[in-house]
Structure 1
């Protein structure tokens, strides 16, 4: 009888310990399964198809991509925001990790854009092709020293010049990338066409190794760590490609 009184509590403790371990393990497994299922979804929006990591939006939850790389789909048109400027996504190529984008404000109204320079978050994107800076100056006081390339807008003229040096006698200036082929910067039609034609950027964060092994990448909470998930949980011997690489070409300063 004495031995039973000693071993019974021990068995009870072990039994409860096993139950406790199982209970705390279940949420972890469910979380991994949810991440694998949710982040396996790809974004399709109009001409954009099969866009995955590092983007999120539409049918991809926020943990499936970088927090600053949300793709918004409205009326089958995709939009991203880079440094508080909204861009329309004209083309997306998941294989080459490139997007062709153009500033939405210049699509809407050339004469009244958001007065913010076009600049990339270099931790997320690099220019894929060479472009030159075009500076558009607004609210200028007429002067003989101003550039002669003037684009008419209702109520004011817009002065354009190649390069990123703003005209000091103007209220504000905006720098935008344009193709190297643009030379007639006093022609409103050609300048507007060059801006709205857009430019190509390549995103840096990758998930190639993980995806080629059948996994999906997910961003882990506030730590912003990238985790590779397989069907049954975090992949044991795989780490996502989180290296950064420089662009093949750059935004040319004049």
Structure 2
């Protein structure tokens, strides 16, 4: 998710503002790093100064904000798309929750919350507590979604449409690959469920973009040896986590924090 900066940003772990990203790209270019596509990335050696940028889930602003920036700076990028996010009217409850917690008084009857004029720290605490609660209960998510719809509280900008996905993949610098069907935690799923996430997402996206899908990013970045062996047996050439270490043949990725990524890249002077 690419956004402009704001004061209350509990979802900041999945956000980066475009100014920070631009600064990172320009700094890397000054240090003679080359930005490459995910397809080309694997032809380089670990000591080569190359960087591949990936975005997860398929937020609408991957096209509106990121696409424009990457086209301007001539930087290849890959969007790992969760199929349910683009083919259904998916409700991004974590952003609706953020919108609720931004209001002067936090009133969410479906979650039993009514707090008058909380300070900033209290807002973060309320958000974190409710997020943990919603993560554990599908029923509460549905009730919360219903309440938000009734109150006219949206879940931010939403996700890419099918046409958006095709547009990104057919653009000069963009590519679309798989992030599964339902953005579920594979580490908690059976072999049958994992296989469904892998095969159905690949088939759907290949039909949509009329191109081969060779890369799979594991939702939430978590995978055990069992899941990894299943993933590796399917028709993907490369698998990615967000862990900072290798899991079998699964390739680690760095979550973007400008300072951390800059420090890692410039200190190690190597492939990122």
**So what's the TM-score if we normalise by structure 2?**
0.23
- In proportion to residue count, which structure has more helix? 2
Max radius of gyration: which structure?
A: 1
Name the structure with the higher strand share: 1
TM-score w.r.t. structure 1 length?
0.24
